[in-house]
Structure 1
């Protein structure tokens, strides 16, 4: 696939390897990444972005296989195009948000966030004032330790990593050493757990957990820099220990900065 032929004005598609693609929305202030993982029998799309552009048109050019959506968590910038796909999977703890709406976020706030600080021309027909987040039943629920088989030996491991949301998930692509960390770990801007629906202590425990995953060669967060060195996992482990020992893992303690990332409680 010649990625230059995609020529999409909204999405930037970058090849991680021959069967793994980042689909990024750099024209929005959140700089969201979704990820397409292609096996022999099926493909997995980790999140569907903001819902500003037609991400299905991108995945359809990259693979002819059936595409299952694996949801890191149910926030607007990760479920925006869920309605374009038939098979959506989510953790049980976030299912209610997917079906009935995201807890603690008004529609007015969502529309303000989706429409601000946009630096690229948006697709024709996009209107922030009319934006409505996806709601619907998932095809299935994911649990910690589940294995999602794409065929050809490409098996995705599911890690339940609550904190940013109750049902937040990370996904390990063990055959390639990729760890997709959603909104649990990324660089540049703070990882946050300061909303009432978040859990600072849960996020810290989740950081400690992913720091113990072996064999990771590259970390892919859902925002900002695409592809982080695995050293950030070791730093996440040190950060978690510090935050717990100093009893900083609760609301109102502010922004805590570490080597390569920060968290805000």
Structure 2
């Protein structure tokens, strides 16, 4: 699989219509069972359901002229690795390349179980939350393109926010966006500073509004079949949450993050408030970056 830079050929949403009209398949999320979700694209669900992962992590196999590309191999799990190999055998091609959207420990560690297969993706940031063992053979950057053969191109779109090294991959001819944890089906994602940034996250969402996306294949959950509406809804949701942060600070100045959570996330179950604290801090840091709020030495926040 060749890696080249085609940034000068980026296609905008108002350009000519996509010439291929693929069929996208909504299917049951059954761990270990390969599902054809788009032409030449199979999803295999990992065996790691949970509060933070939903049904589990989606791994994808993409057909290319040099074998299968494994996108997001998932958490380190020999059983899931065996399921991926079995799916490759059923498809009739070997796994020759591993890509990752980011290096959280539910997405990249299983790459270690695939031996000398070529690895492409971002470097892990140093925040204590990453798969430190992940080291790509080639570091990918915004605008890089992977030729899958037969006129199929996978383009890298840098989408920092959920984490600073997050990448999405757009299968351009079919309009399939592999969104990793930038956008997932059925829920919003946690933005955890310091490597996560709410300002970057919103900028990355707006960046995707200018792409020709027909469907999203997320890191968790089923296909997102109205992607542009989903992006717009997510931007609106985050900005409405920001308004609640501002109201809470207006009513309760000199508050610490933990004191603001119950009011800002009064629509979220209490057992999720610990997780919500991370995204709330990301909202506050965005306001600080915009010089709309500040904190003192005791991490008490006020509006400016």
> In 2, Cα distance between the equivalents of 1:187 and 1:96?
24
Verify the 8 A CA contact 1:50 1:76 in the aligned structure 2.
yes
SS of residue in 2 equivalent to 1:203: helix
Structure 2 partner of 1:104: 128
Verify the 8 A CA contact 1:68 1:87 in the aligned structure 2.
yes
Matches within 5 A, 1:1-265: 10-25=31-46, 28-29=49-50, 30=53, 31-52=56-77, 53-54=80-81, 55-85=84-114, 86-91=117-122, 95-97=123-125, 103-105=127-129, 135-214=133-212, 216-230=213-227, 231-239=229-237, 242=239, 246=243, 264-265=279-280
Q: TM-score, normalised by structure 2?
A: 0.62
> In 1, Cα distance between the equivalents of 2:74 and 2:142?
23
SS of residue in 2 equivalent to 1:186: coil
Unaligned runs of 5+ in 1: 1-8, 107-132
> What's the Cα RMSD here?
3.2
SS of residue in 2 equivalent to 1:206: helix
Which structure has greater helix proportion?
2
Verify the 8 A CA contact 2:109 2:134 in the aligned structure 1.
no
Unaligned runs of 5+ in 2: 1-29, 247-255, 268-275, 281-304
Cα drift, residue 143 of structure 1: 0.5
CA displacement, residues 3-42 of structure 1 (integer Å, 9 cap, x when unaligned): xxxxxx9512111134110111266222211111112334
Sort the Cα spacing of 1:236 and 1:170 in 2 relative to 1 into closer, same or farther, 3 A: same
> In 1, Cα distance between the equivalents of 2:43 and 2:98?
14
Verify the 8 A CA contact 1:147 1:157 in the aligned structure 2.
yes
Q: Larger Rg: 1 or 2?
A: 2
